[in-house]
Amino acid sequence: MVSSYEIKENVQHLFANISHEEQIYRIVEMFIEIFPVNNAFLFRYSPFGYLGEGVLAIRGKQYEPIQEIREDLRSLPLILSTIRKKRAQFFSGKDIYLKHPIVKYKENINNQLIIPISSYNIVKGYIVSVEILDTESINENLLDCATLYGQLVGKIIESSIDSENLILSKRELEVMRRIAEGDSTKEMANSMNLSEFTVKQYVKSSLTKLGVQNRAHAIAELFRRGLLL
């Protein structure tokens, strides 16, 4: 049985000194190594439109990019529920009412394990597995461990993005992250202890640096570049 101590040790050791791109591969690879699953689909998440955007899938030892998947999660209540609870959840049998592009990878989906990836209590992405090797092992302890895995991965990814970010300043990137999380200009000004004018200036300079016309395009571009998980 997997333990929280083993997860912490594995994540800290195996994610050290590798690039952001390599970290993305290790997220899904390590997930399959640790938990009793045979596939994993990694998604970015933004509350800006409740967007779930595919990143990478692994089935057995086969990797496949899934950037073509873009979903409004309001139509996928099990995933949205997991994100809101910020805790891994397992669904089976009659609980599964899944209309999602990942069904094309497997004809019959009887089980679904969903793990939020979060950093400082903000969900940045999630992992979905629909091929559970041992459903009897899915208990509260395993869900706690899966939740911890998502939290550790989220913090490491966030740290790596901060260190690799050469496009926006830290303040600009923070403003864009908050936009992706759905904050208004007034909310950002209050929480960041800035004037609304200053927040707008950070937005304006970020759009210029990214070469985009509006906030929605900027968020999409940051997702594409891997600067938002």
pLDDT in tens, 92-129: 876 676 666 676 656 567 889 999 999 878 888 999 99
Query: In angstroms, rounded to a whole number, what is the distance separating the alpha carbons of residues 21 and 135?
Result: 31
Is residue 95 domain-shared with residue 171, that is, in the same domain? no
Is residue 129 domain-shared with residue 187, that is, in the same domain? no
Which of these three, 137, 162, 187, is where a domain ends? 162
Query: In angstroms, rounded to a whole number, what is the distance separating the alpha carbons of residues 18 and 152?
Result: 16
Using the predicted structure, report yes or no on whether residue 167 has a pLDDT greater than 90.
Answer: no
The residue range of the domain holding 45 is 4-162
Is residue 56 domain-shared with residue 128, that is, in the same domain? yes
Torsion, Cα of 202, 203, 204, 206 (10° steps): 80
Query: In angstroms, rounded to a whole number, what is the distance separating the alpha carbons of residues 187 and 228?
Result: 20
pTM: 0.73
User: What pLDDT is recorded for position 68?
Assistant: 85
User: What pLDDT is recorded for position 108?
Assistant: 64
Is residue 182 domain-shared with residue 158, that is, in the same domain? no
Q: How many domains does the chain have?
A: 2
pLDDT in tens, 135-163: 888 999 999 999 999 999 988 877 665 55
Which of these three, 136, 162, 188, is where a domain ends? 162
User: Which residues are 65's β-sheet partners?
Assistant: 56
Which CATH number fits the domain that encloses residue 210? 1.10.10.10
Is residue 211 domain-shared with residue 143, that is, in the same domain? no
pLDDT in tens, 8-23: 887 877 666 677 778 8
Which CATH number fits the domain that encloses residue 86? 3.30.450.40
